[in-house]
Amino acid sequence: CSGIWQSVWIEPVSREGYLAGIHIDTDIDTGKLEVTGVIVTEDENIVIDSFELFITLNESIKLDGYMIEANGTIHIYSDLPMEKLELWSPDNPVLYEIQLRIGCLDGEFVATDEISSYFGL
């Protein structure tokens, strides 16, 4: 047998740059969050120079951090507000939603793409 065995969808992407995926690493001992995103642009002259990063559990928390960009991959490092977060356990399976927006600063932030995921601590 062969063929498509799952749902398939087509998604439009921005020519100015889009996120092909993200990887999330957390360190509960140091309260650090690292988000790695793969950025694809159609033109090497297009610059993605800014981001917004949010985590959500009951309330939205905007995280500040710094970004390192290299060869179409961004690494965002941020401190987690551990006093506002709960650790995951089988008895308390807390997951946090995360939303990453990329774009450029043109007086104010202009998003070209966003991606949502989740993580546990």
- Report the half-sphere exposure of 118 (CA within 13 A, side-chain side): 9
pLDDT 10s digit of each residue in the chain, 121 long?
A: 677 778 887 877 777 677 888 888 989 888 888 888 887 777 666 666 666 677 665 566 666 655 655 556 777 788 888 887 888 999 999 888 888 887 777 777 777 788 888 888 8
- Overall pTM > 0.85: no
In DSSP notation, 33-67 reads EEEEEEEE-SSTT----EEEEEEEESEEEEEPEEE
